[in-house]
Chain A
Amino acid sequence: MGKRQTEIRIDNVSFNAKYWAQKTLAEFKTEANKPDAAMVPPDVRAEDRDAWLKQAFDLIKKADAGDDSYKPDVNTEELKLEAELAKNMEADKTKDKGKTTPQ
């Protein structure tokens, strides 16, 4: 297990990981959705807001737990691309397994 982190930056928003890890997702979302709150990057679309908050909260919990996959500075677009890349590579592997060597 990695070192427990006190803060994590997600899309240039820095969160106090120790503080938020003690809250629930509902409490996190309530604070983030207050009129004057500034916890969600301005370029996150309204329809993506809820998903972004859930992902951010999961990352905060990981940071606080000292999860080895944690990065102190996270860009969610990059995470999405990495996930797609991993998925495509997995799909390619499966395709290659099905091929047989010509006699």
Chain B
Amino acid sequence: MDILNLPNCGGVTGTFNSGVNLCDIIKDIPYGLLLMDSGVEFSEAERADVETFVAAIKTKTRAARGSRVYPMWDLVNFEDTTKEATRGTVGNLSTSDIKLVDAVPGFKFGHYKGELFHQKLSKAERERLRLMIIDQNFAVYGTKKASGAMTGYSLNEFSVDPSKFATPQGAAQYPFNVVLASLLEYKDNLAFVQTDATLANISGLVDVNLSLFNQASNVMKVRVLTDGDQQDLYDLYDTELGVVGAWTLINKATGASITITSVTLDATNNAWIITIDNTAWTALASGAKVLLNLAAASVLSATYLVDGYESTGTLEITKP
């Protein structure tokens, strides 16, 4: 049948039915968010059951940047800021309003994690992330792609408002806003997965900073503190990070890997003593730079049981 110039007036071409499903889902108040890099999606295999889905999310929170999920929990002060649909008048002798343009959903959230976290949240404004919303019943809401994969909603805006001091009438406030980019994603291509409380055990990565305590020839003493609150990782993971494989070292100029030959603990200074291959070190010219870093978050988590931390960047060491 030729469908050219054939309007859909319902009838034999309609798809609507009014029977009510025996089981359905009702959106509850948002409790958490999964922000995610643009390419992140969850395949049908990753949605096979709740345990598999939760494990897939956990894995992606430790993945390399560009493929990572950033969970946030314990949201407060939720507000639906979706504007009313734009309506227009039709008719001549008698008029009525009809909907012209649907409003794209917008939401205001708050957290109560503090100033340092609020400052970090601002970085998300520039990262073109996608968003899944998790309600208090641990239902995860996102959108379904043509491929069948589930991903987060694309955003027109992710903005962090200035924090507010507490008042005698109320607590301090840490508000932020999202405006979705596509009503199609939100409404027509709705996707949800009903999970359980195990989802909320997944945390995001904490940034850590490396610093050089001292250096003598090819032997470096390095300290690691969390960004912001300066918690000393030596107090938590001295032994776990006291292994060769937890560290990486490259020649800054060439990008070539340089061998770390041993790692020892310095309990007096809360530092790890990293010894570099002496032959390679000697071969470097004076002024040459090497870049020391912790292994990737996924490696620290899976292999060395140091879960939930990521170095903010390499420690540059100059050969005298």
**A contact residues vs B (CB 8 Å cutoff):** 6-7, 9, 12-16, 19-20, 31, 34-39, 41
Decide yes or no whether B293 CB sits under 8 A from chain A.
no
Known: A36-B216, A38-B275, A39-B275. A15 touches B262 (CB 8 A): yes
How far apart are the CA atoms of A14 and B261 in the complex, in Å? Answer: 8
User: How extensive is the interface on chain B, given as a class?
Assistant: 20 to 34
Decide yes or no whether B217 CB sits under 8 A from chain A.
yes
Decide yes or no whether B273 CB sits under 8 A from chain A.
yes
B273–A38 CB distance below 8 A: yes
Residues in B with CB closer than 8 Å to A15 are: 244, 261-262
A36–B217 CB distance below 8 A: yes
How far apart are the CA atoms of A20 and B261 in the complex, in Å? Answer: 7
Closest to A41 in B: B264
How far apart are the CA atoms of A69 and B275 in the complex, in Å? Answer: 27
Residues in A with CB closer than 8 Å to B275 are: 31, 37-39
How far apart are the CA atoms of A24 and B244 in the complex, in Å? Answer: 20
B242–A12 CB distance below 8 A: yes
Closest beta carbon of chain B to A71's beta carbon, Å: 14
B219–A37 CB distance below 8 A: yes
* Cross-interface CB contact of A7 among B216, B218, B244, B264, cutoff 8 Å: B244
Near A by CB (< 8 A), chain B positions 106-136 give: none
How far apart are the CA atoms of A16 and B246 in the complex, in Å? Answer: 11
Decide yes or no whether B239 CB sits under 8 A from chain A.
yes
B264–A38 CB distance below 8 A: yes
Closest beta carbon of chain B to A4's beta carbon, Å: 14
How far apart are the CA atoms of A15 and B264 in the complex, in Å? Answer: 9
Residues in A with CB closer than 8 Å to B260 are: 16
Decide yes or no whether B181 CB sits under 8 A from chain A.
no
Decide yes or no whether B278 CB sits under 8 A from chain A.
yes
